[in-house]
Amino acid sequence: MASINPNGIDINGLAKLQRKIKDDKVIGPPMKRAMMRSAFTVERNAKIEAPVDAGRLRSDIKSIFEMRKSFPRWARIGPSVFYAPFVEFGTGIYGPLHRRIVPTTKKALAFTWHGVRIVVRSVKGMRPRPFMAKGVKRSRGPIRVEFDRAMADIEKAWATRG
């Protein structure tokens, strides 16, 4: 049974399964290949979906694996630039707080936009551009294919294992 929490998805018995997988020479390699290819598929699709201004956000999307005895326990996929959550989830009235952006220590907000100096009392914010969510959604089919292939390889190896 699986449960979703703020840190990801928990699958009951996953740790036990991972221990068995890394100990088994038949299961381990195909599952490792499927996990790593799946992470790189999400990474590639998130890069395709990422909005581009200077390209820093797109180029910063990476897959990081936590390995346990050469088997990936999990993968974290995404950018590390500080503004990535603002792009993904939006800001101001479009973001999680649903409030206009107002100055906290001054009377007005001042910024330069396309070479023009702008001074305002508040701004609406920026609409979300969910590049990671779209990248994951785009990857669902290819991930299924990877794990189906891994299961077929495991079945074939077990059949010949004797």
Kindly state whether residue 114 falls inside one of the protein's structural domains.
no
The tokens for 136 are: 């994951």
Q: Give yes or no for residue 91 having a pLDDT over 50.
A: yes
- Cα separation, 13 vs 159, in Å, equals 25
Domain for residue 151, yes or no? yes
Asked whether residue 121 is domain-assigned, the answer is no
Q: Determine contact, residues 152/29, Cβ cutoff 8 Å.
A: no
For residue 118, tell me if it sits in a domain: no
Whether 160 shows a pLDDT value over 90: the answer reads no
Q: How many CB atoms lie within 10 A of CB 16?
A: 9
What is the model's pLDDT at position 28? 80
Cβ-proximal residues to 33 (8 Å cutoff; 6+ apart), any chain: 146, 150
Task: Provide the pLDDT for residue 93.
Answer: 97
Positive/negative CA dihedral, 128, 37, 155, 158: negative
Residue 67: predicted pLDDT: 81
How do residues 16-52 score in pLDDT, each as one tens digit? 666 666 556 777 888 889 999 999 999 999 999 999 9
Number of structural domains found in the chain? 1
- Count the Cβ atoms, other than its own, within 10 Å of residue 116: 7
Instruction: Report yes or no on whether pTM surpasses 0.85.
Output: no
- List the domain range (segments joined by +) for residue 61: 2-90+128-156
CA nearest 146: which of 8, 44, 19? 44
Q: Classify residue 100 by its DSSP letter.
A: -
